[in-house]
Amino acid sequence: MFKNFFRKFSKDVGLDLGSSFTRVYVRDKGIVVDEPSVVALNSKTDQIIAVGHHARDMVGKTPGHITTSRPLLRGIISDYEVAEKMIKYFIDKIHEDGVNLVARPRVVIGAPLEITEVERKAIEDATYSAGASEVHVIEALMAAAFGVRLPVEEAVGTMIMSVGAGITEIAVISLGGVVTWRSLPIAGDEMDHNIVQYCREAFNLLVGEHQAEEVKKKLGSAEPFASGEQMAVRGRDLLTGLPKEVMITDSHVREALHRSVKSIIDAVKATLEVTPPELVADIHERGIVMVGGGTQLRGLDSAIAKACEIPVRVADDPTTAVVRGTGLLLEHPEVLREVELPSARIQEKVG
Ligand SMILES: Nc1ncnc2c1ncn2[C@@H]1O[C@H](COP(=O)(O)OP(=O)(O)OP(=O)(O)O)[C@@H](O)[C@H]1O
Ligand SMILES: [Mg+2]
Ligand 1 touching residue 17 (CB < 6 A): no
DSSP string across 191-235: HHHHHHHHHHHHH-EE--HHHHHHHHHHH-BSS--SS--EEEEEE
Q: Does residue 349 fall inside a structural domain? A: no
Our answer on whether the CB atom of 18 is closer than 6 Å to any ligand 1 atom is yes
Q: Are residues 105 and 234 in the same domain?
A: no
Residues 6 or more apart from 337 whose CB is under 8 A from it?
Answer: none
Q: Is residue 196 classed exposed, middle or buried when 0-12, 13-18 and 19+ CB atoms within 10 A define those classes? A: buried
127 plus 72 within the same structural domain: yes
CA-based torsion, 85, 87, 90, 91: positive or negative = negative
Residue 31 lies in a domain: yes
What mean pLDDT value characterizes the chain?
93
* Cβ–ligand 1 contact at 165 (below 6 Å): yes
| Stated pTM of the model | 0.94
- The finding on whether 69 has its CB within 6 A of some atom of ligand 1 is no
Whether residues 193 and 181 share a domain: the answer is: no
Question: Which listed ligand is nearest to 193 at the C-alpha?
Answer: 1
**CATH code where residue 238 lies:** 3.90.640.10
The Å distance, Cα 80 to ligand 1 centre, comes to 23
Q: Is 158 a member of any domain?
A: yes
Answer yes or no: do 26 and 126 share one domain.
Answer: yes
Q: Assess if residue 208 is contained within a domain.
A: yes
Q: Is 307 exposed, middle or buried (0-12, 13-18, 19+ CB in 10 A)?
A: middle
Give me the pLDDT at residue 170, please: 98
Q: What is the mean pLDDT of residues 110-132?
A: 94
> Which atom of ligand 1 sits closest to the CA of residue 318?
18
Together in a domain, 290 and 170: yes
- Print the domain residue range for 249: 188-257
Total domains in the fold of the chain: 3
d(CA 140, CA 16): 8
On the 0-12 / 13-18 / 19+ scale of CB atoms within 10 A, 294 is buried
Cα(292) to ligand 2 centroid in Å equals: 6
- Can you give the C-alpha Rg of the chain in angstroms? 21
Closest approach atom of ligand 1 to CA 167: 26
Same domain, 89 and 117: yes
Q: For residue 350, is it within any domain? A: no
How far apart are the C-alpha atoms of 343 and 53, rounded to whole Å? 32
**153 C-alpha to center of ligand 2: Å?**
22
Domain containing 89 — which CATH number?
3.30.420.40
> Of 257, 281, 303, which marks where a domain is finished?
257
Residue 346 has pLDDT above 80, yes or no: no
Query: In angstroms, rounded to a whole number, what is the distance separating the alpha carbons of residues 163 and 78?
Result: 20
Distance, CA of 301 to CA of 314 (rounded, Å): 7
Residue 298 CA: nearest ligand 1 atom is: 3
Please tell me which residue, 50 or 9, carries the higher pLDDT value.
50
Query: How many angstroms does the Cα of residue 163 sit away from the middle of ligand 1?
Result: 7
State residue 8's pLDDT score: 56
Of the chain, the percentage scoring pLDDT greater than 70 comes to 96
Atom of ligand 1 nearest to the CA of 37: 22
Q: What's the pLDDT tens digit per position in 168-205?
A: 999 999 999 999 999 999 999 999 999 999 999 999 99
Q: Tell me, yes or no, whether 51 lies in a domain.
A: yes
* 110 CB within 6 A, ligand 1: no
Any domain includes 137: yes
Residue 339 corresponds to which amino acid? V
C-beta 292 within 6 A of ligand 1: yes
Range name among 112-116, 166-170, 226-230, 304-308 with the lowest pLDDT average? 226-230
Q: Is residue 348 part of a domain?
A: no
Rounded to the nearest angstrom, the distance between the alpha carbon of 350 and the centre of ligand 2 is 31
